[in-house]
Chain A
Amino acid sequence: MNRQLLELERLLRRPAEIADAARAGRTERSVFVTALVSVVIGGGLFGTALASSRGGIQLLYSAVKLPTVFLLTLILVTPAIAALAVVLRRPLSLAGASVLMLAAAGRAALVLLALAPVVWLAFDRGLTYHRGIVVACICYGIAGLEALRMLRLALGKDLRSFVVIGAFALVLLPAGGQTAWMLRPYVGRPSQHSLPFLRSRESSFGESVERSLFSSMDIYR
């Protein structure tokens, strides 16, 4: 336990150290486990805050689904960053990429954990469903920037690293977006009487984002 707390401190305060270790091919299993716990707890509590507008079983559903989205996305995209790094001659092994990606996700989840009370307070003060979705997207964006910082620390700041991260973003954004979209709902529509674990398949991730943006401006299509 003491070891995990030390690793949590590194994750919070010295991410460059973890990034350096991942780049050097040092696969620290304790970092992996600590980051995984951070994803489960941070993502889970943020999911609970999102579901607080609806309450009930949705609290449990969202607490389970948000960390699942993180982990499924990582499973899908981690080989991509390892391959891109090899192609563009950045020193990053598959094991190093796994630890790095999970550590980046862990930091992002910790940012979400920090934002969870704000989201909960906003819903408690009467934030509407569609605006709540936009607030959640902003929170994901902030958390994503923190994860991106971790990647930048590991890959460097030169043009080649920029290309690796840019190409990786082209894989991550649709993969992560589609995974999150498939596992909806996280907030729970107020008009729905029953609360399904997964919503029935309809349209696509891109169309859903567009519709949510218009709905937040009270334009319903």
Chain B
Amino acid sequence: MKLLELGVLYAIGGAVSAIIVSRRDRERTNLRWLNLMLALLLWPLWLPVSLSREQSPTEEQSKGATASEQALYQGYEAVKGTPLEKLLPRESVERIALELRRVVERDRELSRLLCQPSFSLPIARARIDEMAQNGGSARAISVAQRHVENIERLAALHARDQLLLSELGDWLTTLRTQLVLARYSASSAEGVGDIFAEVCARVEVLGTTLEEPPLTLPEPPNLSWPNTFS
């Protein structure tokens, strides 16, 4: 096959590709000419790209995400590629989403744990009462008390996470509507910065853990072992 024949075949391929792309892309008038030019000249490279559905990273990540995450991604999608993107940059979205996922996962794990009998607060308290009635040692009761405190701290952490996640969900929903409004009404993005600061503050809190009280146990009894070798 000569170069000219190859060129003619390539041109036919380009023309067919341009027809396919133009039929598919009727609605997207902004970049239509670019799409057609690429389909005509670089069809072996552009046609697979043009025919595949463009999926943004946030769209892929939002699969199976919580309502808060969905709101975050939708807010980002609303400003992506616009001057408003600097208000909610991709890096921040990814960082917040990562922290959200981590905390949601921790919250689920805590929920599962706190449902188990070994993490039940009434059972642990009943155990202390039982030990006190049966004349258990102070050290044994102190250890059991510590177990109760640990469960209480886990329950407090769980409650705090749930409250923060709920609040964060509300803030993210508001952030999304604010960004969408700013984009479509072409109004100023006043207030977005404040909302974003509130979101960041809550994410920072989510990243922390509750302070741990110092572990204090009574001195163990002085057990003397008879020296049989002396």
Instruction: Point out residues on A near B: beta carbons under 8 Å.
Output: 2-3, 6, 21, 24-30, 32-33, 36, 71, 74-75, 78-79, 93-95, 97-99, 101-102
Contacts and interface: CB of A to CB of B under 8 A. Distances in A.
Which secondary structure dominates where chain A touches chain B?
helix
A29 B56 CA distance: 10
Nearest to A102: B45
Interface centre among B38, B44, B49 (most CB of A within 10 A): B49
Contacts of B83: 2
Given A2-B81, A2-B83, A33-B34, A26 B45 contact: no
A95 B55 contact: no
A71 B42 contact: yes
B60 A95 contact: no
Interface centre among A26, A28, A93, A97 (most CB of B within 10 A): A26
A99 B44 contact: no
Nearest to B42: A71
10 contacts: A2-B85, A25-B52, A26-B56, A29-B50, A32-B46, A74-B45, A75-B44, A95-B48, A95-B52, A97-B48
Nearest to B52: A95
A27 B45 contact: no
Nearest to A82: B48
Interface in B17-38: 34, 38
A33 B81 CA distance: 15
Given A33-B38, A98-B49, 9 more contacts: A2-B85, A21-B57, A27-B49, A27-B55, A33-B34, A36-B38, A71-B45, A95-B52, A99-B49
B47 to A, nearest CB: 9
A2 B81 CA distance: 7
B60 A94 contact: no
Contact of A93 (B42, B52, B60, B85): B52
A27 B54 contact: yes
A32 B56 contact: no
Given A2-B81, A2-B83, A29 B44 contact: no
Interface in B54-99: 54-57, 60, 81, 83, 85
Interface string B139-161: 00000000000000000000000
Contact of B49 (A3, A24, A95): A95
A26 B58 CA distance: 11
Interface centre among B48, B50, B55, B83 (most CB of A within 10 A): B48
B30 to A, nearest CB: 12
B51 interface: yes
A99 B55 CA distance: 13
B60 A24 contact: yes
Contacts of B42: 36, 71, 75
